[in-house]
Structure 1
Amino acid sequence: MRLAGPLRVAAVAGAAALTWLLLTGLLGPGRSQSPIRGLLGRAERPPTAGPRPFRPRFRCGLPRPCPRSSLAFRLVSGAANVIGPRICLDGRMLMSSGQNNVGRGLNIALVNGVNGELIAAQAFDMWAGDAEELLKFLRPLHEGTLVLVASFDDPATKLTEETRRIFADLGSAAAKDLGFRDSWVFVGAKGVQDKSPFEQHVRNSRSSNKYEGWPEALAMDGCVPRRPPDAR
């Protein structure tokens, strides 16, 4: 009985350490990468002598600056149903757990494509929420509006055919096939003519999931072109 206290403390400390490792692997710089694979990679590297060289980071943690005609972005999907997603644009965190404005389902930020100003940011529960709320959010989009999306837990159960068509019109190639507990990050825009180059999708598959019941989290960054002020 005397060991119950110390064992409880050790269990809590172990859980906290695991959470920190997941956060470090998920939210650090870099493109789509399994956090577990990243942690193992660091563990296998031999120790190096001397201080590491300084590597400057730019807006949203990108390794190089974006041209003035573009906006820097970084999207991180949620990890299983534990760690929430993040959406960063032009050096500003638009959505994150720290800001208490993310949730299960689809986390979406609407941005002015000319000046990068945030128009609206909202999370939509695609498991138990009202699908009509998402449609009300997406239907009135103006030409040139940027749409940044990061999934968390389940992004697809309540998706309607109309919602999938709207995402496809915004440039998504994956929205039509998005399924239960898939991981998805996407940047699109109202009025685009082609499919967006800024999209990543990993299916929920028992044979390849990184977590029990969920695929790996995704991280994507880059430079999305601004819309010219006089574009029609």
Structure 2
Amino acid sequence: MRVTGLLRVLAVIITLAGTWFFVQTYLSNTGQKFVSLRSWLGKAVSQPVKNKCNNAKSCPENYYAFKIISGAANVVGPSMCFEGTVFMSSVKNNIGRGLNIVLVNGEYFQGEAAGFRYVKLLLNFLKPIQEGTIVLIASYDDPATKLNDEERGIFTSLGSSYAAKLAFRDNWIFLGAKGLHAKSPFEQHIKNSKETNKYDGWPEMLEMEGCVPKKID
């Protein structure tokens, strides 16, 4: 029975191969274009489009794509991607506990990234920010214990609504800009609370993606 079954399978394969050869030869002789099964399937099945930063939606031509992911407790570090470039992540090994900040100069499209836990270093990083610079921030572990009023004021001037009340082990992600004349719509904040924390002593991770205008106003 097994031999008979094998012979039947071979007969089917030989028949299909012969048919394919005949059709290909006929189409070649008549000058018609032969389309392979693989190429036909490739056209029939649409391939998913990979957007910048792997975002769910693409951005218009006059917008930048971004994605910000906060840290998870004190275990998983944050990541920040801007216009398809990952500036900070655990893989790049350039994150730190506290506040992780990326500065992007849209005119020359240059990025600078750093993590901070100490006030003096943070102020030295923030004060020279030039007009039009886009600022991305992601918290990791505890972003607020060492923040002073001056630093909170700088973040507020960049468009933050939550910097002034950021507290111990809160989770915070933010995108603002120097010279922004309104509150930024790109901000998420979740308080550290025993009643709502997802992790032991920390709130859940935050994730935000979207499109930011190239022209800051």
TM-score (norm 2): 0.76
Q: Distance in 2 between matches of 1:111 and 1:99?
A: 17
| Residue 57 of structure 1, CA deviation | 3.1
| Residue 60 of structure 1, CA deviation | 0.4
**Counterpart of 1:167?**
155
- Is 1:195 equivalent to 2:187 in the alignment? no
**Counterpart of 1:206?**
194
- Is 1:74 equivalent to 2:67 in the alignment? yes
**Counterpart of 1:176?**
164
Q: Distance in 2 between matches of 1:70 and 1:105?
A: 29
**Counterpart of 1:122?**
114
Q: Distance in 1 between matches of 2:154 and 2:106?
A: 18
Q: Distance in 2 between matches of 1:89 and 1:208?
A: 31
Contact 1:56–1:63 (8 Å) recurs in 2: no
Matched positions, count: 173
Contact 1:57–1:64 (8 Å) recurs in 2: no
2:104 to 94, 111, 133: 111
- Is 1:90 equivalent to 2:83 in the alignment? yes
| Residue 227 of structure 1, CA deviation | 2.6
**Which AA in structure 1 matches 2:205?**
A
TM-score (norm 1): 0.72
| Residue 84 of structure 1, CA deviation | 0.3
**Which AA in structure 1 matches 2:115?**
A
| Residue 68 of structure 1, CA deviation | 1.6
Contact 1:144–1:190 (8 Å) recurs in 2: yes
2:133 to 145, 153, 171: 145
Q: Distance in 1 between matches of 2:47 and 2:145?
A: 45
Q: Deviations over 1:87-143 (max 9, x none)?
A: 00011100001001001000000001334321x210002xxxx21110110011110
| Residue 226 of structure 1, CA deviation | 0.8
Percent of counterpart pairs with the same letter?
53
| Residue 56 of structure 1, CA deviation | 3.0
Q: Distance in 1 between matches of 2:140 and 2:50?
A: 26
Q: Distance in 2 between matches of 1:80 and 1:57?
A: 30
Instruction: Report the structure number with the largest CA radius of gyration.
Output: 2
